[in-house]
């Protein structure tokens, strides 16, 4: 039997519980630069300077620097400059922030403060398009070769080809929803590659019900697939993660500040994508196209705890040091999808259109986050800030909800277990991320401020990472797409201005964010088969390589904050 060798291969892991795929979850783990216009205008480098409501979600001790109560709200517009012109709006209004801080004097130079805030910590609005050549590779060939190499087996049930269920009453987990669509709508017709008869002599074409591919007319095992010469991809994503923070903080003699924040998260994510391959026959002549249209939503809630301190190491100096830590965000999530294969092929090719859907619950835990910050003020005219933050996303965790149990008193406890295979994939795909933020505020007049800021966020993804469709994981089994993008570093440039009048303030900020990446429609692999027993030679006929395509995500944000101190 042949052995499948994945390009940039990593270790395969054992059977695991249900979860969600690495690339789908990674976008839930990171945060955007968002909040008040003052915070954004300074690049978010205020974790040591404090006295801004947005620090409630980064360094909670920043709220301890408030000496007067305050309420504020922020709204603005987001625009994607590199989005394809496909009739969808590139610019959308957004409500980004609202917050309130109440101060209470606890001594001559000490305060205890309480705060609540809302921040849109993640904005998912994006349009991603890619076009590339495949040179004979194809998505359906990936499905076929997985079957041919015993990664999943098929059987007929209720008139459909579906994954075989073993003695442990579990399906072959590498068999995903895309494999199901191709198995039933394309790969078992009479015109796919290597037509022949099955073991029962049925001469109607390929039949994928055998454990290891199909039998041709000579009785040899073969894979059934169509080649493709190119593809077009589109995905529009929308939604947000709303972060609700509840803070208690304090000020001890204007030298030591502390804070604790409890955060709640509300996840609302959706996407609609279309992946179209232009198929060819054995003579490389076009025979039409096949499109996989996928709609998916992810929703749920989560919570975390954030703690921090700010202190002035030199009593007579305005120099400040801030330190903070965030626990993982513990998410409880639900995902649903509706996926359809639309066939526009020549007569006799394919078996028409086919749809499938899925729904399941799971848990996802982000990694710990650690940060340090420096702040310095020059009189009442200049403020300088710098922040470094680190989170290792390879330590994200994914778990399945397995129901629960009731104790003697009727209390219900939910049980979950780790998806070991997908956890291993997370380790291979994701890595530690460093975030550097610097910012400055200058006041040419007491009531007027101008601000500048910059962010650098190192890549979350390993360059050789990929969406592994061969894992023995329920995350693979419920997957409805094969594409992935390895995004590079993010650079943000910000600017802003603010004006105060008596107890009122108005602030405006602009942010430009740019990220590039490499898009792949599916994983690549080489199917090694010794030629005449020579292990140094192999038949490359079943290779299925696809090249990456350069993509980018360029966003502009304009945000306005209105505030009132009392």
Residue 183: C-alpha distances to residues 176, 329, 355 (Å): 11, 39, 12
The three state secondary structure string of 226-289 is: CEEEEEEEEEEEEEEEEEEEEEEEEEECCCEEEEEEEEEEEEEEEEEEEEEEEEECCCCCEEEE
Please give the pLDDT value at position 1.
38
pLDDT of residue 249: 98
Angle (CA) 144-145-150 rounded to 5° is 105
**Distance in angstroms (rounded) separating the CA atoms of residues 197 and 188:** 11
CA distance 177 to 479: 6
Cα(142)–Cα(137) distance, rounded to whole angstroms? 8
Three-state DSSP class for 66?
A: coil
Token pair in block for residue 284: 């490389």
pLDDT score of 6? 39
Distances in Å between the alpha carbon of 280 and those of 87, 138, 146, 194, 452? 30, 10, 21, 14, 54
DSSP state of 371: E
> Which residues have CB under 8 Å from 389's CB, separation 6+?
369, 370, 371, 372, 434, 435, 437
What does each C-alpha distance from 447 to 16, 312, 418, 504, 562 come to in angstroms? 60, 26, 54, 11, 15
d(CA 77, CA 90) in angstroms, rounded, equals 10
**321-354 burial by CB neighbour count: b if 16+ within 10 A, else e?**
ebbbebbbbbbbbbbebbbbbbbebeeebbeeeb
Question: How many Å apart are CA 486 and CA 313, to the nearest integer?
Answer: 42
pLDDT value, residue 49: 97
User: 72 near 97, Cβ under 8 Å?
Assistant: yes
User: What is the structure's pLDDT at 389?
Assistant: 98
DSSP assignment of 466-501, as one string? ---TT-SSHHHHT-----EEEEEEEEEEEEEEEEEE
Strands 354-365, 397-406: pairing kind:
antiparallel
Rounded to 5 degrees, φ, ψ at 185 are -115, -5
Q: Cα–Cα distance between 93 and 98 in angstroms, integer? A: 15
250-255 own/partner pairs: CB under 8 Å, 24+ apart: 250/64, 250/106, 250/110, 250/111, 250/112, 250/113, 251/64, 251/65, 251/67, 251/109, 251/110, 251/111, 251/112, 251/113, 252/110, 253/107, 253/109, 253/110, 254/109, 254/312, 255/311, 255/312, 255/315
Query: Cα separations (Å) of 44 from 39, 124, 135, 439?
Result: 5, 20, 46, 7
How do the pLDDT tens digits run along the chain, 566 residues long? Answer: 344 433 433 222 233 335 578 999 999 999 999 999 999 999 999 999 999 999 999 999 999 999 999 999 999 999 998 877 666 667 889 999 999 999 999 888 789 999 999 999 999 999 999 999 999 899 999 988 888 777 887 777 777 777 776 556 677 888 899 999 998 888 765 544 433 333 333 333 333 434 334 434 344 445 578 889 999 999 999 999 999 999 999 999 889 999 999 999 999 999 999 999 999 877 788 989 999 999 999 999 999 999 999 999 998 899 999 999 999 999 999 999 999 999 998 877 777 899 999 998 999 999 999 999 999 999 999 999 999 999 999 999 998 877 666 666 777 777 778 888 899 999 999 999 999 999 999 999 999 999 999 999 999 999 999 999 999 888 888 899 999 999 999 999 999 999 999 999 999 999 999 999 999 999 998 765 544 445 555 555 668 899 999 999 999 999 999 999 99
Identify the three-state secondary structure at position 186. coil
Looking at residue 243, what is its pLDDT?
98
Please give the Cα distance from 346 to 308 (Å, whole number): 64
Instruction: List the domains of the chain with CATH numbers.
Output: 3-137+226-349+356-565 (2.40.160.60), 139-219 (no CATH)
What's the CA gap between 550 and 527, in Å, rounded? 26
Calpha distance 449→142 (Å, rounded): 58
């Amino acid at each position: 039997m042949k052995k499948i060798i994945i390009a940039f291969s990593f270790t395969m892991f054992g059977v695991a519980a249900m979860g969600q795929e690495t690339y789908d979850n990674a976008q839930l783990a990171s945060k955007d630069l968002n909040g008040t216009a003052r915070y954004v205008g300074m690049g978010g480098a205020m974790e040591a300077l404090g006295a801004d409501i947005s620090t409630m979600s980064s360094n909670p001790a920043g709220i301890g620097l408030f000496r007067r109560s305050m309420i504020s709200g922020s709204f603005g517009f987001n625009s994607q400059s590199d989005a394809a012109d496909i009739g969808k709006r590139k610019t959308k209004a957004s409500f980004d922030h609202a917050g309130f801080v109440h101060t209470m004097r606890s001594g001559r130079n000490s305060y205890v403060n309480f705060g609540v805030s809302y921040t849109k910590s993640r904005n998912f609005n994006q349009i991603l398009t890619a076009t590339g050549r495949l040179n004979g590779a194809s998505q359906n060939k990936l499905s076929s070769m997985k079957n041919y190499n015993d990664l999943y087996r098929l059987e007929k049930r209720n008139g459909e080809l579906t994954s075989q269920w073993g003695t442990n009453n579990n399906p072959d987990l590498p068999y995903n929803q895309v494999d199901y669509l191709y198995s039933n709508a394309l790969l078992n017709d009479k015109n796919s590659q290597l037509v022949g008869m099955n073991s029962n002599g049925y001469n109607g074409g390929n039949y994928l019900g055998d454990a290891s591919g199909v039998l041709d007319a000579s009785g040899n095992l073969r894979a059934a697939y169509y080649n493709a010469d190119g593809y077009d991809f589109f995905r529009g994503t929308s939604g947000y993660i709303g972060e609700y923070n509840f803070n208690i903080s304090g000020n001890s003699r204007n030298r030591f500040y502390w804070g604790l924040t409890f955060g709640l998260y509300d996840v609302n994510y959706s996407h609609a994508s279309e992946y179209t391959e232009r198929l060819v026959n054995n003579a490389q002549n076009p025979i039409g196209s096949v499109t996989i249209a996928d709609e998916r939503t992810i929703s749920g809630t989560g919570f975390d705890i954030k703690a921090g301190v700010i202190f002035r190491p030199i009593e007579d100096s305005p120099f400040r040091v801030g330190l903070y830590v965030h626990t993982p965000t513990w998410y409880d999530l639900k995902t649903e999808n509706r996926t359809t294969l639309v066939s526009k092929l020549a007569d006799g090719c394919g078996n028409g259109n086919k749809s499938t859907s899925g729904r399941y619950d799971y848990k996802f835990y982000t990694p710990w986050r650690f940060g340090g910050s420096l702040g310095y003020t020059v009189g009442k005219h200049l403020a300088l800030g710098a922040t470094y933050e680190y989170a290792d996303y390879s330590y994200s965790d994914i778990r399945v909800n397995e129901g629960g149990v009731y104790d003697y008193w009727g209390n219900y406890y939910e049980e979950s277990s780790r998806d070991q295979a997908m956890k291993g994939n997370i380790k291979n795909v994701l890595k530690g991320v460093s975030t550097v933020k610097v910012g400055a505020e200058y006041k040419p007049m007491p009531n007027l401020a101008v601000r500048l800021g910059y962010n650098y966020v190192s890549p979350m993804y390993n360059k050789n990472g990929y969406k592994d469709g061969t894992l023995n994981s329920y995350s693979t089994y419920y997957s409805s797409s094969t594409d992935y993008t390895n995004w590079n570093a993010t650079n943000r440039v910000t600017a802003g201005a603010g004006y105060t009048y008596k107890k009122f303030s108005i602030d405006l900020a602009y942010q430009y964010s740019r990220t590039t990446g490499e898009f792949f429609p599916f994983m690549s692999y080489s199917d090694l088969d010794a030629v005449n027993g020579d292990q140094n030679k192999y038949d490359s006929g079943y290779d299925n390589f696809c090249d990456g395509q350069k993509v980018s995500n360029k966003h502009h944000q304009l945000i306005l904050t209105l505030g009132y101190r009392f």
